[in-house]
Amino acid sequence: MAVLASWFWVLAGCFSVAVAEISNISGLYPPLWEDSPEQLSDYRLEDGKHIINPWVFTDRMGMYRILLKETATYFARYGPENEQNLLWGLPLQFGWQYQTGRLADPTGTTDCGNEPEESLCVSVDSWWADVNYYLSVLPFLAAVDSRITGLSPDQITILPPPKDQMKFCYNVSGCGSAFSETMDRWRDFFQYMKLPSSDFEGLLKKLWNAHTSSLEYPISVFVDRYDFYSEQEATFERDWAIAVYYLGAARLPTTLNRTHSFQRGLPPRVLVDTDIVPFIPDFTPLQNEVLEILKILGNSDRLSGSLTLTIWESLMSTKVARELFLKALEKFLGTSP
């Protein structure tokens, strides 16, 4: 229980970082948002198809921008300026990965993401980029398939990475047969979103169902990538992958403002061998604390064979509990009445 209690406070701590200092909502958008495609026609056209290269930062971000734009209408009733759109969590995470150097080639054998002229390159050797592929291309294709975007699957070509092509999928039919459950869950989210009877709580549940499902394959397949990182960063990657399941069980509302403030607790650069948690001098106390708690959480999850997750899930299984949890967070934020 001590672990769960400390996990709770860390989450609360992340959220307590004031959001107030940015007064213009577009200041919260992910990096290069305005430079990313906003519609399919912004992508290069070749042989009657639009070419999307998910191994270029702005191309992958563009899929999110299209998603956010096309789903705005369904979230309008929950707040202005699309701020309440739950899909914001995805591009903000991807933006954080970019800003903190996590999409660059971790082996250092190529300039991908490491040199100014290659700054938009997303490396297939990056663990973060590989996992994010399943949280960008799959939801995008599921949305296309669910007729959310008004696009047809045969208008799009998704380019493969320079290696490990067999570990990725590139179109609605390919992803549908290789990752049928994950694609079903994303489709389920989008179909539900279109229902007049849908509500915020239901959207949140289906979003996290799809999100956690998307992680299963890449987390088990890209374990070889851990070798490219310092032990500290590899541990953080493993722990973060575990933590996401806990966040999902709490159904964290991944709206623009909340995700933005949450991310301030995350490490602002790739961890190196000399970093000693929780005493990394160029990290904030909060960022150090988050790493420490993630480590404890990861260890206890592994040692208990995910029993702590089961306990956490049952704690978070009622709406009342999740509301209490969020209320506590809001109290920290000073936004509750």
Contacts of 147 (CB under 8 A, 6+ apart): none
Tell me if 169 contacts ligand NAG by CB under 6 A.
yes
Tell me if 257 contacts ligand NAG by CB under 6 A.
yes
Tell me if 162 contacts ligand NAG by CB under 6 A.
no
Tell me if 321 contacts ligand NAG by CB under 6 A.
no
DSSP 8-state code for residue 51: E
Contacts of 250 (CB under 8 A, 6+ apart): 11, 312, 316, 322, 325
In the numeric block, the tokens 């990056």 are attached to 126
Tell me if 170 contacts ligand NAG by CB under 6 A.
yes
Cβ-based nearer residue to ligand NAG, 74 or 240: 74
125 close to 106: Cβ distance less than 8 angstroms? yes
Interface region with ligand NAG, contact rule CB under 6 A, candidates 111-119, 163-171, 194-202, 222-230: 163-171
HSE toward the beta carbon, residue 123, CA cutoff 13 A:
25
Cβ-based nearer residue to ligand NAG, 119 or 157: 157
Distance, in Å, from the CA atom of 252 to the CA atom of 93, rounded to the nearest integer, reads 14
Distance, in Å, from the CA atom of 42 to the CA atom of 168, rounded to the nearest integer, reads 24
Please, which of residues 174-213 interact with ligand NAG by CB under 6 A?
A: 174
Main-chain phi, psi angles of 300, to 5 degrees? -70, -35
Residue 50 parent element (H or E): strand 49-52
Q: Among 18, 22, 76, 223, indicate the residue that binds ligand NAG (CB under 6 A).
A: 22
Cβ-based nearer residue to ligand NAG, 83 or 164: 83
Residue 306: both structure tokens together: 């995910």
Q: Among 173, 317, 318, 336, indicate the residue that binds ligand NAG (CB under 6 A).
A: 173
Please, which of residues 81-110 interact with ligand NAG by CB under 6 A?
A: 83
Q: Among 19, 51, 286, 296, indicate the residue that binds ligand NAG (CB under 6 A).
A: 19
Tell me if 334 contacts ligand NAG by CB under 6 A.
no
Tell me if 24 contacts ligand NAG by CB under 6 A.
yes
Tell me if 4 contacts ligand NAG by CB under 6 A.
no
Tell me if 16 contacts ligand NAG by CB under 6 A.
no
Query: How many of the other CB atoms lie within 10 Å of CB of 9?
Result: 14
Secondary structure (3-state) at 72: helix
Distance, in Å, from the CA atom of 288 to the CA atom of 43, rounded to the nearest integer, reads 40
Cβ-based nearer residue to ligand NAG, 296 or 328: 328
Interface with ligand NAG by CB under 6 A: which residues? Answer: 19, 22-27, 79, 83, 169-171, 173-174, 257
